[in-house]
Structure 1
Amino acid sequence: MTGPAVLVHGFGTSSHMWRPVVAGLRGALTPDLPGFGRAAAQGQPGQGTADMAAALAGYLRDRPPVTLVGHSMGGKVALLVAARWPDRVARLILVAPSPPTPEPMPDEGRAALRAAHGDAAALRRQYAQITRQPLEDQDLAQLIRDGQRASPDAWVAWPDVGSREDIHALTTDLRPPVTVLFSEDDPAIRPDVIRREVLARLPHAQARPVSGSGHLLPLERPDLVLAALRDAGA
């Protein structure tokens, strides 16, 4: 028996990231990672990928193996869950994932991420910069609310700790099949980074490049995410 699709959001966002995907996918589950969304109060200083992965693995405990889908930061977290708790994951779909190696990001980019917490104008600029399709008003409004309610500790921990971690030695021999969905037009985690730091580290993964979207594929092109899920058997 295979469990449902479990959709894991990225940095600074929440389960709302998956709103248009959930609308076309029966029975999907959308947990919030510690420090974000409904779990904002669970954020901790210096929390890393392993901390978030442990929380997600606990959420999956006592369920049949699931289709685990992770976007951006959530992709790195999902990858570590699949490596450490393979019995809980039937298949893994990474959507514009943060790589298992340290994410290449200039110091000024990390500083801008840290400074955006709670700042509606900065958050609005950030999402304008990393998208290529217009967002619906309700989705942009929720992204800004998510950036205002997130735990300050968890927010700072990602650019300072989690995104810098190197977990690739743990993920080289994954049991579940892996699909990597990414956009050739993503300005946040560029396609060359995906090819060099994700696909090259996961030699058995199926690459699924698309175009016409920025970094927020679940909101910009939910049809492409749903197609990847269907083709993977979710």
Structure 2
Amino acid sequence: MTQPRSGFRVTCTPASRAGAATVLMIHGFLDDASVWDDVVDAMSGEVGAVRYDLPGFGSRSGSIAAVGGPTLPALAAEAADVLAEIDGPVILVGQSFGAQVAELLAAQQPDRVRGLVLLTPVPLSGTRLPDEVVAPFAALGGDRVTQRRLRAEMSPDLTEEQLDRLTAVGAVVSAGATAHYVSLWNTGVPETSATSAFRGPALIIAGSADGFVTEQLVDAISARFCYPEVKVIDRGGHWLHVEYPGLVAAMILDFTDAVIGATS
């Protein structure tokens, strides 16, 4: 079910029973809301699921110029508008760059967000990589060949079909959007404190084969939370939710059970 909100589409999959929690999902760089589809299917209606395209991606690939390039606080404010339309308890899930947006929103809405799941996360403080390292990422807009190669390198267990699907999703992203978002996730929020402003439970899911979100980076991110839990998927890469949707769904459901109560 897709509903228009705030001028863009939000896809809502209801839970199979009244009163169940809802998972609000925020996708990462080069992606759109469709990358969550297999995870949503694997959750089998035990929780509700809400997802949408960030500006510059998917159905909103042409919107980034109109808004002048969104900031992290602006993206968190947009996510807050989506959150406001959800009834009942919410678990917030952010992947890669989406984890930065998710943490900002969770800190601002602690009464609504009961738990935070960070999937192969970029730290809120940014990656702070040198220009020569991030320049190839910034130049990915419209480059299907390089995008496909990058995804294969960062998620070696992706099938050919999954690579084709992700490449098609990323192909619509403009060079302006990739340059803007790379600057955004690399810079992050400069004044980020050593302790996260979100004081609730947090689950961090990483892949052992992800060369971008390394074990050291995961350790640094988890140390910022009061109640962190870290799960590592063996052989998993950066796009765990596409490579291993069943495992990711099970981890989200187990976390939701622990935080809110039984989902079935």
Q: CA deviation at 1:171?
A: 6.1
Q: CA deviation at 1:79?
A: 0.6
Query: For 2:134 and 2:94, how far apart are their aligned partners in 1?
Result: 21
Task: Indicate how the Cα distance of structure 1 residues 50 and 154 shifts in structure 2: closer, same or farther if over 3 A, else same.
Answer: farther
Query: For 2:200 and 2:54, how far apart are their aligned partners in 1?
Result: 22
Equivalent residue number for residue 218 of structure 1: 241
Equivalent residue number for residue 158 of structure 2: 134
- 1:1-234 matches, within 5 Å, as 3-25=21-43, 26=45, 27-43=48-64, 44-64=67-87, 65-137=89-161, 139-166=162-189, 168-169=192-193, 172-196=196-220, 198-233=221-256
Q: CA deviation at 1:151?
A: 4.4
Q: CA deviation at 1:117?
A: 0.8
Q: Which amino acid aligns with 2:30?
A: G
Query: Any idea what SS the aligned residue of 2:52 has?
Result: coil
Query: Any idea what SS the aligned residue of 1:56 has?
Result: helix
Query: Please, what TM-score do these two structures have when normalized by structure 1?
Result: 0.90
Aligned 8 A contact 2:141 2:177 in 1: no
Kindly tell me the number of residue pairs found equivalent between the two proteins. 232
Deviations 1:49-81 (A, max 9, x none): 212111111111132331111110111110110
Give the structure with the higher percent helix.
1
Q: Which amino acid aligns with 2:56?
A: G
Aligned 8 A contact 2:142 2:174 in 1: no
Task: Indicate how the Cα distance of structure 1 residues 10 and 171 shifts in structure 2: closer, same or farther if over 3 A, else same.
Answer: farther
Give the structure with the higher percent strand.
2
Q: Which amino acid aligns with 2:86?
A: R
Query: For 1:36 and 1:97, how far apart are their aligned partners in 2?
Result: 19
Structure of greater Rg: 2
- CA RMSD between the two structures: 2.1
Task: Indicate how the Cα distance of structure 1 residues 48 and 170 shifts in structure 2: closer, same or farther if over 3 A, else same.
Answer: farther
Query: Any idea what SS the aligned residue of 2:203 has?
Result: strand
Query: Please, what TM-score do these two structures have when normalized by structure 2?
Result: 0.80
Task: Indicate how the Cα distance of structure 1 residues 88 and 153 shifts in structure 2: closer, same or farther if over 3 A, else same.
Answer: farther
